[in-house]
Amino acid sequence: MEDLLVDRGVWGAIVNDRPTVGIAVVTTIKMSGTAASTTLGSVPTTTSKGELSTAYHATLAKWDKMDLKARGLIHIYLKDSILMNVMDQDMTKGLWQKLENLYLSKSLVNVLFYRKKLYNLLLHDEDSFAAHLDNFNTLVNQLLAMDVQLIEGEKVVTLLCSLSNTWDNLIVVIGGVGSIEMLWETVCFTLLAGDMQQIGSESLSRDALTARG
C-alpha cells in the first residue's frame, strides 16, 4: 500500500501534517535507498494579508485534494470489516496510524491472532488455489510487518497442510522429490500448475457431457 501511495504522489498526506500559515509543505519519500523531496507548496509570511489568504487557501485546497485521494485509495483496499473500524478518521494520517495500531501492533495478541488465522486457513474443494495462495501470502506479510518471519520450510509445510484431501496425491509427489527446505517458489509453481491442470480437466469433462447431451 505504501508503494501505491508513493506512486500516486499522495504519500505526503501520511508523513506530513495539514499545512498552516508560514509552513512549507514538503513531502519526503525514500526510493531505492535515496531521499527525494517534493515541494507541494509553501505559504509566504511576508506578503500582504490578501495575498497571504489567497496563497494559503490555494495550498490548503491542494493538500485537501491529495488527502482525499490518499484516503480513497486506502479505503478501496480495505475489507468491509476493517473499514468499519476506521471510518471515524477524516484525515489520511490518522487513518494510517489507527490501522497500524489495530493491525500492525507487535503485541502478543496481534501475533497470536495472525498466527492462528494462518494455521487455520483451509482450501476447500470449490475454492481457487490462486486466491487461497493470495490469502496465505497476505497473512505471512502481516506477520512479517510485525517482525515475525517464517522460514521457507515452515511456510511450505503450513501451506501444504492447508490443502484439502483432494490434493494428497500431488502433495505426495512434491514430498517425494524435495526436502522440507525445498524452495517456496518451486512448491507454489507445482501447486499452481496442478490447479490449472485440474481446471482444464474439469472443463473437458463438462464439454464432453454437453456434447453427449
Residue-wise pLDDT tens digits, 134-171: 999 999 998 988 888 888 889 999 999 999 998 988 88
pTM of the model: 0.54
Q: Which of 85, 103, 121 is the last residue of a domain?
A: 103
Same domain, residue pair 78 and 21: yes
Same domain, residue pair 65 and 96: yes
Same domain, residue pair 7 and 95: yes
Same domain, residue pair 37 and 99: yes
Give dist(CA 111, CA 104) in Å, integer: 9
CA angle 29, 99, 147 (to 5 degrees): 75
Q: For residues 66 and 13, is the Cβ–Cβ distance under 8 A?
A: yes
pLDDT at residue number 95? 92
Q: How many structural domains does the chain have?
A: 2
pLDDT at residue number 89? 92
Give dist(CA 91, CA 13) in Å, integer: 8
pLDDT at residue number 117? 94
Same domain, residue pair 116 and 133: yes
pLDDT at residue number 19? 80
Same domain, residue pair 127 and 169: yes
pLDDT at residue number 41? 47
* Structural domain range at position 69: 2-103
Q: Which of 73, 103, 133 is the last residue of a domain?
A: 103
Q: Which helix (H) or strand (E) holds 74?
A: helix 49-76
pLDDT at residue number 134? 93
Question: What residues form DSSP beta bridges with 37?
Answer: 28
Give dist(CA 47, CA 53) in Å, integer: 9
pLDDT at residue number 146? 83
Same domain, residue pair 136 and 120: yes
Copy the grid coordinates of residue 80: 468491509
Residue 135: CB atoms within 10 Å: 15
Same domain, residue pair 88 and 158: no
Q: Which of 78, 103, 128 is the last residue of a domain?
A: 103
Give dist(CA 5, CA 2) in Å, integer: 5
Q: For residues 10 and 70, is the Cβ–Cβ distance under 8 A?
A: yes
Same domain, residue pair 6 and 90: yes
Same domain, residue pair 84 and 116: no
Under DSSP, the state recorded for 146 is: T
pLDDT at residue number 21? 59
pLDDT at residue number 182? 65
The region, left, alpha or beta by phi > 0 then psi within -120 to 50, assigned to residue 149 is: beta
Residue at grid coordinates 490449472: 196
Same domain, residue pair 120 and 199: yes
pLDDT at residue number 35? 40
Give dist(CA 129, CA 187) in Å, integer: 13
List the alpha helices (DSSP H) in 77-128. Answer: 80-83, 92-103, 108-120
Same domain, residue pair 71 and 127: no
Q: For residues 71 and 95, is the Cβ–Cβ distance under 8 A?
A: yes
Question: Measured between alpha carbons, how far is residue 176 from residues 161, 168, 179 in Å?
Answer: 16, 12, 8
Residue ranges for the chain with pLDDT beneath 50: 23-39, 41-42, 45-46, 204-205, 207-209
Give dist(CA 117, CA 10) in Å, integer: 32
